[in-house]
Structure 1
Amino acid sequence: MAMKKRISLELRNRSPAEVVELVVDNSRSADGEVEGLTDDFTGLEFLSMVNVGLSSLAKLPPLPKLRKLELSDNNLSGSLETLSEKCPNLTYLNLSGNKIKELSNVEALQNLKSLQSLDLFNCEITSLEDYRESVFELLPQVTYLDGFDQEYNEAPDSEADDEDEDGEDGAGPTGDYDEEDEEEEDDEGSEGGEVGPGFQVSRGEQEDDEDEDDYAEEEEEEEAAGIQGQKRKRDVDDEGEEDDDEEDD
């Protein structure tokens, strides 16, 4: 998808001035230039243009509030002086995976006075001797290079910190609370508390089965009694006939 079209979709019926974060990763730039961005994006603080085929930043509009800029996996080798002109308040810049080969390429970032974190991972410049020391010396305002400071202390993960804060502020009751509730519900059920509809239905079906069994037993007993009564009657009749025969004799 073309970058210009992607940006129009990302607006989602908002005006450009209302947009604070904009991600157009993996879209296609025309002729390696930024397109679709205008100076109307006055409130933009985070912009991500990863793998969009950029080879120049010459058409980047003024973005006075921009703090974080993701430009990894493009074809940039120069024109970085545009950043200090158009985005003077940048604090984080990711240029990893670009065609930056010499220290002179990043020298233009000296005017980004607020820049704290710079990423040049997978750029040819990282193969230079004393690469880290040279970049820190050239850009003294930078605290973290490729995710580490000069003493190789890792940069804090701001996104993870935000998630932790959200968890503390918006978290519900702990797991222990849920377990106690479940135990209480189990105890109530086992001690003869209110039973659910499923149990009541099963109990009713059981009672119906018992009634049917009792009725069947009664029928069997009555049938047996009737057979016995008929047999006794036949026996009595037979005895009476025998007595009559003897009297005739």
Structure 2
Amino acid sequence: MDMKKRISLELRNRTPAEVAELVVDNCRTSDGEVEGLTDDFKELEFLSMVNVGLTSLAKLPSLPKLRKLELSDNNIAGHLEMLSEKCPNLTYLNLSGNKIKELSNVEALQNLKNLKSLDLFNCEITTLEEYRESIFELLPQVTYLDGFDQEDNEAPNSEADDDDDDDDEEGEGRAGPKGDYDEEDEDEDEDEEVSEGGEVGLSYLMKERIQDEEDDDDYAEEEEDEQKAGVQGEKRKRGAEDEGEDDDDDDDDD
């Protein structure tokens, strides 16, 4: 995808003046120049053009509020004077993976008075003897070079800090990850209780059914016994009556 089309998509129905951050990494320029970016992006503070085939910054528009510029993995060899002219308030500049070989290639950055962090990692210039000392001497306003200061202290990850702050602020207005986790556990517990309750209910019903069947069997046996007892009683009664009739006959005969 070419840079113009990518920028148009990244606008997402916004006007250029409403955009504060713009990322067009891995798209392509037709002639190694910046395309589709205009002076209308006057509110832009962060711009990332990583691996887009840039060889020159001659067509970079005026971006007075731009503070962070990502230009890593391009083919820029020098001519960086456009940066101080078009982006005078830059504080962070990443030129790693470009074609910068000599100190003279970055000398133009002296005019970026607010520049605090510069990255030249994977550029040929880093192989020069006393490279770090020379850069810090050439650009005294720079605090961090390739992520470390002159005493080899690592630069703070300001973006990570910002994310942490955002998380804290969001946490004040809504349940955090821990709350979500507890809620999920509670849902799982409820599911387990329902499941267990279903099993208990089923077992109970089965037991009730078996008990009912046993009660029916007992009742049937009792009824059968009663019927047998009744029949036997009837037989005994009839036998007694028969015996009584025989006695009467004997008396008559006498």
Structures share a fold, TM > 0.5?
A: yes
Task: Provide closer, same or farther for how the CA distance between residues 131 and 198 of structure 1 changes in structure 2, counting only shifts above 3 A.
Answer: closer
Task: Provide closer, same or farther for how the CA distance between residues 20 and 210 of structure 1 changes in structure 2, counting only shifts above 3 A.
Answer: same
Partner of 2:221: 224
Partner of 1:26: 26
Q: How does 1:16-95 map to 2 (within 5 A)?
A: 16-95=16-95
| Mean CA deviation greater in 51-60 or 201-210 | 201-210
Partner of 1:161: 161
Q: CA RMSD in A?
A: 3.4
Q: Secondary structure at the match of 2:31?
A: helix
Identical aligned pairs, as a percentage? 65
Unaligned 5+ segments in structure 2 are: none
Counterpart AA for 1:144: Y
- Write the distance in 2 (CA, Å) between the matches of 1:12 and 1:151: 44
Counterpart AA for 1:21: E
- Aligned residue-pair number: 235
Deviations 1:61-117 (Å, cap 9, x if unpaired)? 111111110000000001211111111111110000000011110111111111111
| Mean CA deviation greater in 31-40 or 220-229 | 220-229
Which has more radius of gyration? 2
Q: Secondary structure at the match of 1:22?
A: strand
Q: How does 1:1-249 map to 2 (within 5 A)?
A: 1-172=1-172, 212=209, 215-236=212-233, 238-239=235-236, 240=238, 244=242, 247=246
Q: Secondary structure at the match of 2:84?
A: helix
- Write the distance in 2 (CA, Å) between the matches of 1:234 and 1:29: 111
- Write the distance in 2 (CA, Å) between the matches of 1:100 and 1:203: 75
- Write the distance in 1 (CA, Å) between the matches of 2:204 and 2:50: 71
Which aligned segments of 4 or more residues in structure 1 are displaced greater than 6 angstroms? 196-207
Task: Provide closer, same or farther for how the CA distance between residues 72 and 197 of structure 1 changes in structure 2, counting only shifts above 3 A.
Answer: closer
- Write the distance in 2 (CA, Å) between the matches of 1:201 and 1:217: 24
Offset, 1:229: 2.5
Q: Secondary structure at the match of 1:114?
A: coil
Partner of 1:189: none
Deviations 1:113-168 (Å, cap 9, x if unpaired)? 11111000000000000000111111111111101111111111111211222233
Counterpart AA for 1:146: D
Q: Secondary structure at the match of 2:160?
A: helix
Q: Secondary structure at the match of 2:106?
A: helix
TM-score computed with the length of structure 1 as normaliser: 0.81
- Write the distance in 2 (CA, Å) between the matches of 1:236 and 1:168: 92
- Write the distance in 2 (CA, Å) between the matches of 1:29 and 1:69: 17
| Mean CA deviation greater in 92-101 or 215-224 | 215-224
Q: Secondary structure at the match of 1:47?
A: strand
Task: Provide closer, same or farther for how the CA distance between residues 207 and 104 of structure 1 changes in structure 2, counting only shifts above 3 A.
Answer: closer
- Write the distance in 1 (CA, Å) between the matches of 2:97 and 2:197: 68
Offset, 1:203: 8.0
Offset, 1:170: 3.1
Offset, 1:238: 4.9
Unaligned 5+ segments in structure 1 are: 187-195
- Write the distance in 2 (CA, Å) between the matches of 1:198 and 1:143: 62
Q: Secondary structure at the match of 2:122?
A: coil
Task: Provide closer, same or farther for how the CA distance between residues 207 and 75 of structure 1 changes in structure 2, counting only shifts above 3 A.
Answer: closer
